[in-house]
Amino acid sequence: GRAVRVAERHRVESLALYPGHLGGDAGDQLVQAAAEGLVLASWRFEGSGDDARGPRPAVRVASATLVGASGRRWDDPVRIGHAFAEAENLARTLQARPGNVATPSHLAAEALRIADAAALECEILGPTEMEAEGMDALLSVARGSVEEPRLIVLRHHGSEEEAAPLVLVGKGLTFDAGGISLKPARGMEKMKYDMSGGAAVLGAMLAIGRLDLPVNVTGVVPSSENLPSGSATKPGDVISSRAGKSIEVINTDAEGRLILADALHYASEWEPAAIVDCATLTGACVVALGHHRSALLGNDEGLLDELRAAGDRAGEPCWPLPLDAEYRRQLRSDFADLKNVGGRPAGTITAASFLSEFVEDAPWAHLDIAGTAYGKTRKPYLRNGPAGIPCRLLLEWVRARTGV
């Protein structure tokens, strides 16, 4: 990353990298990291047009050459690093687009282009299909907007048809004004970033398809806007969900968990090997962990350990929080099966506890990326603004599952 910054200042068009005499896994990791750093550092947002290929770097660096004394070829780590970084750059581009461009239908169009570029299967559900599926929680969030919601499903068939898939679910709230529980005006322009989890999943699916990883992976992005209007869901409303559980909406600004609830229950029916969701879900996460680590919660310790290790390898670390049954009590409602918020205490944990109600028996983990998905950064390979996190974390986890 620093090398690209220096090259930018001096308008250097090519770089030479010397990985030294490292061999084996250490050498592969170094070369992959170098490839990722070069591509990530070269990203700049150049507009809000429909370019599914992602960003066109404005950096003058056009090529990089590996100079090695070991005599070995670095094709695979370079290929993987380039694919991982391009995936995260795509996520960053989608994040950066303004809310009047990056609508739910826009994300769906991007998903179709990604599917074409990476040989993926793509299915898009609109309001009619959602209603048939009983996805009232998702539909309730979208009622205040003229923009129709979408549920995006991308499938990579990398293994036998009967093999249980890994499922990645990303929150795709393309603009969140809070609904009737309106957010303060200051900083509301950043609520275009509330689709960051969905952007990360779309980027990850692009790389998974292009690398043709030998595993079945399904990406799911529930997408809508959350705006106030005469037709919007109101505090105190009781809505249903695909799981059949009723939900008392205490705060319409706790909408991300509602669209995720239906998406998680939908994914659970595929009998997946594991489900990982990621979402800019709670401000409480920023209070707890700041902007340096994502929060990690779930129902399977082995899965949580895998994700922590993947985050460390990717440079996108996460930190586990408890998910004890006691926190579920904060979601008790007098009028429904549960409330959508549990008060101020342990807000990140109670949000994850809410989501856990809609996951069946599958191993499941939740990444709260509210503090890490965008903002100012000291990392030399990133710029201030959209970070694409946790796209490379997800990719490292999927790749580790394959043994590639």
The CA–CA distances, whole Å, from 211 to 43, 120, 300 equal 21, 12, 28
Half-sphere exposure of 181 (CA within 13 A, CB side): 15
Other CB atoms closer than 10 Å to residue 29's CB: what's the count?
A: 14
Type of residue numbered 373: A
Nearest-angstrom CA–CA distance, 84 and 12: 24
Tokens of 111: 């998903």
Q: Which of 289, 345, 291, 292 has the alpha carbon at shortest distance from 321? A: 289
Nearest-angstrom CA–CA distance, 328 and 354: 7
Nearest-angstrom CA–CA distance, 318 and 229: 37
Provide the terminal-to-terminal Cα distance of the chain, rounded to the nearest Å.
26
DSSP per-residue letters across 129-166: HHHHHT-HHHHHHHTT-SSPPEEEEEEE--S-TTSPPE
Nearest-angstrom CA–CA distance, 149 and 108: 10
Q: Which residues are catalytic?
A: 183, 257
Nearest-angstrom CA–CA distance, 70 and 257: 51
Q: Please state whether the peptide bond connecting residue 390 to the residue before it is cis, i.e. omega within 30 degrees of 0.
A: yes
Nearest-angstrom CA–CA distance, 386 and 256: 19
Half-sphere exposure of 307 (CA within 13 A, CB side): 30
Tallying the residues shown for the chain, one arrives at 404
Strand ranges for 25-102 from DSSP E: 63-66
